[in-house]
Structure 1
Amino acid sequence: MNRERETGGFLKKYPGVKIGIIALILLLVVGVSSAFTVEKEVEVNFKGKVYTANGKLLESLEEVLIANELPVSDEYKYSTPLTTLFKDVIDVTIEKKISGKILVDGKTIAYLSGGVTVGDVLEENGVKPDEDDKVEPGLNSPLTEKTGDIKVTRISYVESTGIKDVPMKATIVEKAELPAGTRIVVQVGQNGKANKKEKIRYENGVEVSREVITCEVIMPAVEEIIEVGPSTTIVMPEAVEVSSVTGNVNVEKSATGDGSASINPESGFKGSMVVSATAYTATGNNTASGTVPQSGRTIATWGGIPFGTKVYIPALGGVYTVEDRGGAVGYGIIDIYMDSEAACESWGRQNIEIYFVD
């Protein structure tokens, strides 16, 4: 009771204070009311044009844009968040989001992004490239209308150790005294063997390259030496590196080439070569071409010579047919079918000259 009397007495004694309090209250009421009613203008940049947006201070930017018939959609990105109170907005830029596709892991993912870089797009769509993976365009590339599809190539590496072939090399020498188109192998080449440790690169699970880390040669490769007649075209297997060519010789490469020289019309043969010839006998199976092997007819050669090719073997005095293959029958080797093991042992291994028949 005494406190109320003191307060009332104070206000009566100092009426100016009472007036000040009332004025302050009125000012607060007016200020709050103004916040809901006072408007401001903000520039909005959209599609290369500048628009003026009017709105109340305590409205959200989204409400103001809608009221001013400016776009509010997930298709666009905004320089100021749509939830920002309009009183805090200085200016606004509206840009259309970028669309395209992400190609990754055998899938196609459509994207619509307001990100700044390609990396932002991948993050938004839950795509996480590993350190070795290849991203095109790069992760830090700016995201623009020209970005288009984003390709992620998964890169992985595997180390492999084992016995590998060391490819042989070949030297080709032109001999003027030989008939045109003639080919003679004076030294049969042979692949070597090496214990190799390789780093294999895979892209999306497909091998694309091999890098030799260490290589210990177990058996050196033997160089093949070939003599040919003038102006001869010779086809060499892709795997054989031709290290030296003398004279007017045209060398062509073929993944399945048999290495035979061009046709010599005068001799009636496609050419000749010296091969390492071994022999084999009945195994109880048909040949690789499906025929029943026959002595005096069947020979096995490397895969570059088609089945059915006729080969004249002077050492045996007859024409044989390529009907079979063999695991040990590599380039420059033939295996001749004979009637018995005794005949095979008697033949052994011989370097002989053979002729490819027309």
Structure 2
Amino acid sequence: MKKTLIIVLGVATILLLSGTVVGYAMMKKEVTITFSDKDKTITTDVLNGTLSEALAEEGYDPKKLKKQYKSSVKWDQPFQKDTKVHLTCNCSVSLKVGGEKPKKLKTTETTVGDFLKAEKIEVGKNDQLNAALDQKITNGLAIIIDKIEKRVDKKVEQIDYKTKKKEDPDLPKGEKKVTQEGKKGKEIYQVTALYKNGKSMVTDKKLIDKVDPVTKIVTVGSGEVEEEPEEKKDTEVASGGSRIAGLKYKKSMEGEATGYTATGNKTATGTTPSRGTIAVDPNVIPLGTRLYIPGYGEGVAEDTGGAVNGNTIDLFFESREEAVQWGRRNVTIYILE
């Protein structure tokens, strides 16, 4: 009888202890916590605890979190069941649009796109945004939108006519007669300009039409000594010191030029670099300036660089071999008209 009683008591004790363990396990609740501005997820077991207590056990300061986050559940209410909690950041964001001064704003939006939509700010197809639209909003994030505007105009440039003299034995000696009036011609250009926040970046000029000038013809009586043809005078003026490779320039300077090639990045003016793209110090050579470099050719100041200072420039080449072959050399930089 004693042996049977001991066995019964032992079984009863085991069952009692098992029930306590099962009961304890059933009282624990699994809580999953996510953040709007972080990829981290916290999963923890809570025994009659609150969100504040659960976060404290995970090493967080609930007081600081309450100031910055809005919770999907009450902070100090005990969990009654397994719960998923989402903490939405009330983040401070800096927003700069165009040439305006940055504004400090608070937002509970979760992405850059949602934030701009809430602020009723549209990003044009040519505008430059420093963040992806699906990028998460984080505290202290700076959002910058550069407004890019494209303007297309026409420009007309006149072409002076030339004067030609012809001898006429039928005219008295020394007499002159205009047999054909001269008429100026014109060149019509399409001028495309890109503006960044209202400031000109790049200007492209393309000839779209041309009207040739009409030569003035003057008949001179025989025996009169002819003056030097005006065409020759024009040619001599055109070949003076104000041209390089047939291009008019208004200034030249000595400097150093280094070859570089594609990095996968856009230029400082938003264009894709190609042959003729030149990186400059905009404090010395304004962006958009047309340049001529002997040995390289014509180009446009479209880019900048950390090592491009003073009279130092970088010349873009289509391949690394060309850039290495050019290396770094002293050059004369011509500023074209």
Please classify the TM superposition score into its range, dividing by the shorter chain length. 0.3 to 0.5
Give the structure-1-normalised TM-score: 0.36
